[in-house]
Chain A
Amino acid sequence: MEPGEYSGKLIVIEGTDGVGRSTHIALLRTWLESRGHAVLDTGMTRSVLAGRGIKEAKTGHTLGRLTMQLFYATDFIDRLENEMLPALRSGFVVLTDRYIYSAMARAEVRGIDSAWIRSIYGMALVPHAVFYLRIQSPQQLVERVLASGRGFDYWESGMDLHLGEDFFDSFLEYQTRMLKVFDRMSDEFGFHVLNASRSIRSVASDLRREVDKIVDSSGLEDLTSNPQTTASDHLVTVAK
């Protein structure tokens, strides 16, 4: 689907676990709202239909590879049809924490046929921009996990893949593989890559500058100090 028929903007924040996606979405949301834009924020496993079911299925650790991908796809389609599309039709800026790319990356590191997963997500809308918060190395992610105080998560460590002796070894290997897949998708889908190893403040200011080029600032001209930034310079990527 092409985004042209909707007056809103679909902006995706992607990245591996622990790179600060939710922090940046919260900051962007406040900033956009202060400038008069209506914002919907959504994210993986937050659907009314399947969010709870996915969380419950994950606690049991008996979720199979294929079942997991389809559960994510169910969650995605529910949020697409019931949240994202209605908001985009009404002219909202939709900020989404992860999109089809995370789902495709998780499938790929689990050895799932990429043609299959892509055919399922063929119904997704092409976003106006995908910002990929890129961390330099999995070691930096480890530091963030330690700083968070919550420890290593079973699924974020890819424990279902039996990649290492324990959560730590598995986490490093799993996140290394995820980074590789993301780097490749970044070229394929034209992600806008932001170095997430920097301070929150500098990442946030980069994000604002780029998002400002996308959102429609017409009607707010008198409030905008620099009218050049109102050019709707769409960063459309191709999802198929």
Chain B
Amino acid sequence: MISYGKHQFPGKLFVVEGTDGSGKSTQLALLHQWLKAEGYPVFFSEWNSSPLVKDTTRRAKRRHLFTPASFSLLHATDFADRTERDIIPPLKAGAIVLADRYIYTAFARDVARGCDRQWVRDVYSFAVKPTAAFFFRAPLDVAIDRIVSGRPNLKYYEAGMDLNFSDDPEESFKLFQGKILEEYDRMVPEFGLTVIDASRSIERQQREMRMLISQHLKRRRLRNH
């Protein structure tokens, strides 16, 4: 098993992170279009997408079967399947992999749920270290507004209802998201996350991302040609 930071692959891995409603998925989709148009082989991988684990997660969410620790481990299982199936093989083949949410999502959520910070990091130590990880930072009230106005019903675990912060889903969601944001802020220096100010226009954020990403690609192209 190769641990975090030790993998050496010809491909590049770019990940986007941030609270719900920070606009990261929109940015990643635009990036995907651009890289394809530039002629790169691009693969996309998103959180909670393992075909082996999907049914178990769905059932557990519906029936409220999770504790903080089992929530953490099942999501790690899902992530391991993505890593073994969708992330490592294309990276070995020299492709660009774009990931919507990565290990930092687990670190933020699981620790906000009360899991031990070091334990969660140990569980995920098999992950490939990204070439660059972008953290879309939106002020808490903006992120909450985007989610709450877009969806009338907050989901049970998304709102952190399992933690009994509050009986009101919206209130619980705000408290939970606040804790998640604190964890993200702590991870910026720890993992060298690139902070993107998500309160600016979509176009400006995209320009900044393309500029940052092209630095990583230029080096690779020079070597190849």
Contact = CB atoms under 8 A, between A and B. Distances in A.
Interface of A: 48-50, 52-53, 56-57, 60, 62-67, 69-71, 73-74, 77-78, 81-82, 111-113, 116, 119-120, 122-123
Interface of B: 1, 3, 50, 52-53, 55-56, 60, 65-67, 69-70, 73-74, 76-77, 80-81, 83-85, 119, 122-123, 125-126
B53 A116 contact: no
Contact of B73 (A48, A73, A111, A119): A73
A104 to B, nearest CB: 13
A62 B3 contact: no
Nearest to A58: B52
Contacts of B69: 77, 81, 123
10 closest Cβ contacts across the A-B interface?
A53-B56, A64-B84, A70-B77, A119-B122, A74-B73, A66-B80, A113-B1, A67-B80, A67-B81, A57-B52
Nearest to A66: B80
A81 B74 CA distance: 14
Contacts of B76: 70, 73-74
18 contacts: A49-B56, A52-B56, A53-B56, A56-B52, A63-B52, A64-B84, A64-B85, A67-B81, A67-B84, A70-B76, A77-B67, A77-B69, A78-B70, A81-B69, A116-B126, A119-B122, A119-B123, A120-B73
A71 B84 CA distance: 14
Nearest to B67: A81
Contacts of A82: 67
Grouping DSSP codes into helix (H, G, I), strand (E, B) and loop, the A interface class, with mixed when no group exceeds half, is: helix
Given A48-B65, A49-B60, A77-B67, A116 B1 contact: yes
Contacts of B60: 49
Given A65-B84, A111-B1, A74 B122 contact: no
Contacts of A113: 1, 3
B52 to A, nearest CB: 4
B51 to A, nearest CB: 8
Contacts of A49: 56, 60, 65-66, 70, 74
Nearest to A81: B67
Given A49-B60, A112-B1, A64 B73 contact: no
Nearest to A49: B65
B120 to A, nearest CB: 10
Contacts of A50: 56, 70, 74, 77
A115 to B, nearest CB: 9
Nearest to B83: A66
Nearest to B74: A74
A67 B73 contact: no
